[in-house]
Amino acid sequence: MENCGCITCDAATKELYEKAKNEGIETVWDRARAMQPQCGFGEMGLCCTNCGMGPCRIVKVSKDGPQAGICGATEDTIVARNFARSVAAGAAAHSDHGRDIALALYHVDDKARIKDEEKLFKLADEWGITVEGKDTVQVAKEVAEKALGEFGKVFGNLLFLKRAPEKRIKLWEETGVASEAIDKEIVRVLHSTHMGCDADYRNIIRQAIRAAMTDGWGGSMIGTELSDILFGTPMPKKVEANLGVLKKEYVNIVVHGHEPTLSEAIVVAARDPELVELAKKQGAEGINVAGMCCTGNEIAMRHGIPMAGNFFQQELAIMTGAVEAMIVDVQCIMPSLATITKCYHTKLITTSPKAKIPGATHIEFDEQKSFEIAKRIVKEAVMNFKNRKGEVHIPDEKSEGRIGYSLEAIIKTLDRVTNTHAHPSGTVKPLVDAIKSGVLRGAVAIVGCNNHKQPHDSCHVTLAKELLKRDILVVTTGCGAHACVKAGLMSDDARKYCGKGLATVCELLDIPPVLHMGSCVDISRILVLLSEVAKYIGGDISDLPVAAAAPEWMSEKAQAIGLYAVASGVYVLLGVAPAVTGSENVATYLTKDIESVFGGRFEIESDPVKAAEKIAAHIENKRKRLGI
Ligand code: CUV
Ligand code: SF4
């Protein structure tokens, strides 16, 4: 797959996009085209609607137009405020997801429902919860309560900040970004960006960072850790990916969205013998569950459930005519699905009180009755099988890969080498050794969404390949992970894209060169990995020869992620410019000056080949400074 200049580099996507065109069905690409030209004020972040005197916009092209809002807010203030609000919304989404997982853990009343007891007790220990004389369910309740406290506690900083290297913690305290309770920091962004409040762009960004930190080192980390405790910590396993995982003769259920609570229950319900029997009575051979977007990542990582596709494939999945039900919870669900399902038999089922869509069937999910509700939803899908209309069109395209690289899985994998050299196991030593010796030059996280401003998947894949050939290990999450597995980059065969050093490491450790670390909230796994490596070398995250890239990002969550990564000391390359270009001060601060404060910064580069060059230069620079 090359960067061909067309809408996508994914063959299945191309095929169904053509089908959509022939059938006159509107997709994200058509709506993007109809939207051109997009509003220049919005694009630059120069439109303010924060009060009833507005909307106000700053005119950059001529000095004759307004140079300040009606209240006198400058371009710096307006741009910074808009950016901060986006970050807060992103952090809110991830954190509220984390809260729901914590609530699910809180309500567990049966030990059998806790899949990683070891991790539960480890976290209890980390948080100073005494476990002696308590049973597992009791400990789970107390851990969940502590986690829920992180959202609204009256005093004190986020507990997980302590997982960072000491130097980093000190830096956060000195620069005033060591976050307190999650909800508090997000509310503070909304307050301080209210009309007539904070006008100092640097201070607005400082508060935005505090909110972003409650995502990566707060809600997301809670989401990841507690999901592992509840549903199991991912371990390497094989998976199939792309729309070709749908099966013509089966009842196809696509779960789409983010929270694993619902999808886990659906996976279990779909295996219920009664429902499988019912499916057979309807003329199907069985029930096939596949995942999309981050929900897809969650259940693929834990159960090897096939990955149907990423953000830009959600509409196309329905156009196969083979999907009996698309079940969604929260985030990244296009409202257009309701329109498209009208042309097919597919039932769109919403399940969260936070995300209803006109035209969809709403069956509210309730964690306490999860199995019952999941069975009801699966039954809806089964009974819909006979309603298929017209021809079923499933692209042949699917690929295979190995996924499931949680931090625990990575350490276990590294132990294979440690043990043979009689070194202490359970550390990142082999990884550090490989980087120090130069066999590996460094590591890069490729994360984030799809965006019509970039060819679909093409930037993820091209960037990954460009890095692999430079002996840079790639880890990935979110829709970037879908792109990479579809392109075959998580198979052993992908070693052919690697430089000699990386290929050797992959062979020795028996790993693919691109490691799937999970969903977007699982970027918290990467933060912990970076912290472990930094602590091991006695330094800080900003010392490491690493970087992050979101070549096709679109969501507010991605902006929050980018900002907490920068504040954690990481160089973050964005393939799409955020709406900050209207203020030279804000743009310069985020792409240059911020580095002298946090050791990380943003870089904007839409071309994935040039992006790889810039990242590689950054990595070599860090190596030089480390003297390796
Ligand atoms: Ni949370 S946030 S499009 S599904 S990665 Fe995918 Fe991932 Fe972006 Fe959404
Ligand atoms: Fe205009 Fe100021 Fe109100 Fe924004 S806050 S809409 S710039 S008057």
Tell me the average confidence (pLDDT) per consecutive run of 10 residues in the chain, 628 residues long.
Answer: 70 96 96 97 98 96 92 98 98 98 97 97 98 97 98 98 98 98 98 98 98 98 98 98 98 97 96 98 98 98 98 98 98 98 97 98 94 97 95 96 98 81 76 96 98 98 98 98 98 97 96 98 98 97 98 98 98 98 98 98 98 98 97
Which of 256, 314, 479 gets mutated to test ligand 1 (max ligand atoms within 8 A of its CB)?
Answer: 479
> Rounded distance, CA 441 to CA 467, Å?
10
219 domain-assigned = yes
Residues 502 and 589 in one domain: yes
Calculate how far, in angstroms, residue 521's C-alpha sits from the geometric centre of ligand 2.
34
Neighbours of 153 (CB within 10 A): 17
pLDDT of residue 579: 98
Pairing mode of beta strands 323-328, 442-446: unpaired
Burial label for 187, CB within 10 Å (0-12, 13-18, 19+), is middle
Residues 559 and 444 in one domain: yes
pLDDT of residue 423: 59
Ligand closest in space to the Cα of 46:
2
33 domain-assigned = no
2 domain-assigned = no
Output the domain CATH number for residue 146.
1.20.1270.30
Using the structure block, give the residue that is written with the tokens 């995502």: 215
| Ligand 2 close to Cβ of residue 74 (< 6 A) | no
Residues 262 and 324 in one domain: yes
Calculate how far, in angstroms, residue 88's C-alpha sits from the geometric centre of ligand 2.
19
On whether 6 is known to bind a ligand per the annotation, the reply is no
Residues 147 and 264 in one domain: no
1 domain-assigned = no
pLDDT of residue 2: 42
38 domain-assigned = no
Residues 507 and 588 in one domain: yes
Residues 447 and 557 in one domain: yes
On whether 459 is known to bind a ligand per the annotation, the reply is no
- Parent domain of 363: 243-387
Residues 430 and 572 in one domain: yes
Calculate how far, in angstroms, residue 257's C-alpha sits from the geometric centre of ligand 1.
8
| Ligand 1 close to Cβ of residue 557 (< 6 A) | yes
Atom 3 (ligand 2): residue with closest C-alpha?
51
Domain boundary among 231, 263, 278: 231
Domain boundary among 387, 421, 455: 387
Q: What is the mean pLDDT of the chain?
A: 96
Residues 206 and 249 in one domain: no
Atom 3 (ligand 1): residue with closest C-alpha?
449
Beta strand spans in 75-220 (E)? none
pLDDT of residue 62: 86
Output the domain CATH number for residue 340.
3.40.50.2030
Residues 424 and 570 in one domain: yes
On whether 56 is known to bind a ligand per the annotation, the reply is yes
Residues 267 and 207 in one domain: no
Domain boundary among 329, 358, 387: 387
ipTM passes above 0.90:
yes
Residues 619 and 519 in one domain: yes
8 domain-assigned = no
528 domain-assigned = yes
On whether 258 is known to bind a ligand per the annotation, the reply is yes
Residues 467 and 604 in one domain: yes
**Taking a C-beta distance cutoff of 8 angstroms, is the pair 125, 242 a contact?**
no
> Rounded distance, CA 261 to CA 227, Å?
8
H/E element, 518 = strand 514-518
Domain count, the chain: 3
For residue 549, what are the CA distances in angstroms to 263, 306, 364, 583?
A: 28, 25, 36, 23
456 domain-assigned = yes
Q: Is 283 left (phi over 0), alpha (psi -120 to 50) or beta?
A: left
